[in-house]
Structures are given as C-alpha cells and as structure tokens.
Amino acid sequence: MSSPTLLVLAAGLGSRYGAGIKQMDPVGPDGEFVLDYSVYDAWKAGFGKVVFVIREDLEDDLKAHFQDRLVGKVDVEYVVQDMKALPGGVQCPGRRVKPWGTGHAIWSARNAISGPFAAINADDYYGSTSYDLMSQFLGSPQCDPTNYGMVGFELNKTLSANGTVSRGICEKTREGILASVIERKGIESVDGEIRCLAEDGHGVIPLTGRETASMNFWGFHPTIFGHLDRLFAEFWQRGCKDLKAEYYIPTVVDTLIQREEITVKVLETTDRWFGMTYAEDRAIVKERLKDLTALGMYPHRLWNSNS
C-alpha cells in the first residue's frame, strides 16, 4: 500500500490573530513556522506527500519556504482554494469575500489526492504521537470507503490562555467509535473551572476538561470528496443568503454519522495541542517549541539536520 498524504488547510484568514499571517509566522528556534513541525512529524510518521490548500496570495511565499526543505523527503503539491469554484455548479454570490470553510477547502483538493489522507489545520501543533496514530490507521484495513478516523485530544490540552475557543466536543461508543461532534463555543477556564457558552448564547455549561475534543485532525478515504460534493447542496439551500456562512468539515462528518453512512474511529492521543488563535499565543508557542527542541524532540535547524 502506498504511503498516505497529508492535506494542510492553509487558506484561512485568522481574523482573531490580528496583523500578520499566522500560517507563516516564524516561531521556531530557527524561524520555523508551526507548519514546519507538522510536515516534519508527518514525514517521520511515513506520509509520502503533502498537499497545501492555500490562498493565491500565499502561494509564492510558501513555495519559496518549502521548495528546498522538502526535496527528497516528500512530494509536494499546492492547490488554491478558489471561492468561486463550488460543488454541483453552484454560482458564488458576487458579494462573497469570506472563504467557504474547511469542508470546501478539503473538496478543493479532490484532484490532488487519490488515496487515504489526513487533513489538518496549518497553524495547529498536534504532536508526533498524533501523526504516528494517524499514519498507522490510514495504512491499515480499518480505513476504507465507509470508515474514517479522527485524532481525539483531551479538552484540557487544547485551551488557550488568551481567550475563548470553539471546539468540537465528541461523544464516542465504548468501542471508540465517534457517535457525534457538537461544536461548543466560548470555551474557557475560569478559576480552574472549564465552561462553555450554552447553545442559545446565554448562560454557561460546565465541562470537566476530560472530554474528547476534535481539533480538525481527520483521516479520510477519498470517498469523502463525493460526500462533500453532495452535502454542499444541502448547505447551500440552508444558508445561501448568509454571505459569512461556512461549510465546516465537522458538520459534514456528523451528518454522515447520524445518517449511518460512515463510521469514524477515534484515535486518542496523549499529545498536547497548541496553536496560533490569538496574537498573544505567539509567545507561548515560541516557548513550547524552544522547550521541545531543548528536550531533543526536534533537531535544531529542523530541515537542515540529518535527524
């Protein structure tokens, strides 16, 4: 069986991050992006190809950054997320300026991927164990046209110290199969207690912190592209008048689960997530990457070493 592909969703705008492009913010000890560590961990875990879904304005800079670093390690392809190219021949509203979301971003890569693949966010650090788990799943008979995978994180290990976050809170069966993904907003830790906003936006709901959270690290068979194409029509009918509505991959996956069209294996990781949600997160990310390098988890000068 051929090695799996890593699909990197790097076209987001990052409105909460402020000035700068968070996907290309040099935060490693030698100026690496968070994205460098994701690709490095995937390469070490046996992924053979990386597909970047990007905005057109990032293409030249990303190519310049990676063209020498990845030679002889993994195959690379770049796909521009064209907001005017939509499934089912839907016509994009002329006033639309916001990208269509993660579901559309994955669909955009349909012609660049032919086998099992993982999809991740460009600005999230997931940890090497997470890539090992996903690589093993994608290379096993467990991954097939109706069975997908998802790396699950302990909610406690996914919070930001600098503001509220949204997370897909997962319910799973005793066998570790995903039963549902519910998007919870306004998650924060206050005086040691974790809580989120109620669904109506008024009041709060207590959480334990031990819940399984989805951080958009999915493992798919290429059949997902057909589902994305088909379900976009339903999304369009529901929200076509909302110029900011987004086609989210967790919503697509949950819909397919509830309709009993797929199953999703939850791959529980012990790694701690961190990412670039807020500008204030940058200092924390820099410190953590510095510490991981000092501990020998990563070599200095990540791509120029022989490690």
pLDDT tens per residue across span 111-151:
999 999 999 999 899 999 999 999 999 999 999 999 999 99
- Mind listing the pLDDT tens digit for each residue in 200-221? 878 999 999 999 999 999 999 9
* Statement: residue 20 has pLDDT above 70: no
CB neighbours (10 Å) of residue 35? 25
34 within 8 A of 298, measured Cβ to Cβ: no
Q: Calculate ∠ Cα 207-209-215, nearest 5°.
A: 105
Looking at per-residue pLDDT, the higher value among 246 and 117 belongs to 117
267 within 8 A of 150, measured Cβ to Cβ: yes
pTM (predicted TM-score): 0.92
Looking at per-residue pLDDT, the higher value among 72 and 14 belongs to 72
Domains and CATH numbers, the chain: 5-151+214-294 (3.90.550.10)
Grouping H, G, I as helix, E, B as strand and the rest as coil, residue 45 is: coil
* Statement: residue 75 has pLDDT above 60: yes
* Statement: residue 56 has pLDDT above 90: no
Question: Tokens 């066998």 correspond to what residue?
Answer: 175
Question: Tokens 């991959």 correspond to what residue?
Answer: 249
- Per the structure block, which two tokens stand in for 193? 């207690």
Average pLDDT of span 9-24: 60
pLDDT tier for residue 268 given thresholds of 50, 70 and 90: very high
Looking at per-residue pLDDT, the higher value among 252 and 99 belongs to 252
* Statement: residue 15 has pLDDT above 70: no
So what's the pLDDT on residue 192? 87
pLDDT tier for residue 32 given thresholds of 50, 70 and 90: very high
* Statement: residue 278 has pLDDT above 90: no
As a whole number of angstroms, the distance between CA 7 and CA 233 comes to 24
- Mind listing the pLDDT tens digit for each residue in 284-293? 999 999 999 9
As a whole number of angstroms, the distance between CA 171 and CA 178 comes to 6
- 260: CB partners within 8 A, 6+ apart: none
* Statement: residue 237 has pLDDT above 60: yes
Work out the percent of the chain whose per-residue pLDDT is above 90. Answer: 69
- 262: CB partners within 8 A, 6+ apart: 146, 147, 148, 227, 253, 256
Helix %, strand %, coil % of the chain (to 5): 30, 25, 45
